[in-house]
Amino acid sequence: MKTTIDGYNIIYDDYSDVLYVKERGKISDRGKPFEDDFIILRRNSQTGETVGLTLIDFCKLYRSNYFNDKKLPSPFSIALIDKIASRLDRGK
């Protein structure tokens, strides 16, 4: 699946269960693990800004409410994750 939600480019790889989220128009050239092995922050090295996320095992973790217990870095939120998951469910 490839779509845009609330100003974010969303790509979901169903085979690998990996979700890629990036702010539209922003450049991401660095990755940094965030508290665990399932969330990778995508950053712009020139500005230091977090512009995206890579979420590994997304559907598996979402169904287990994993993201409800995480404080996602700004500007990302559980509300955005819920919208993405809802769109994925409708797409199946």
Q: What is the pLDDT of residues 41-82, one digit of tens each?
A: 999 999 989 999 999 999 999 999 998 877 788 888 999 999
Domain with 51, as residue range(s), is 2-91
The count of structural domains within the chain is 1
- The model's pLDDT over 10-39, given as tens digits with 9 standing for 90+, comes to 999 999 999 999 999 998 888 888 888 899
The Cα-based distances of 84 to 9, 44, 48, 65, 69 in angstroms read 11, 23, 25, 14, 17
pTM score, two decimals?
0.89
Alpha-carbon distance 87 to 92, whole Å?
Answer: 9
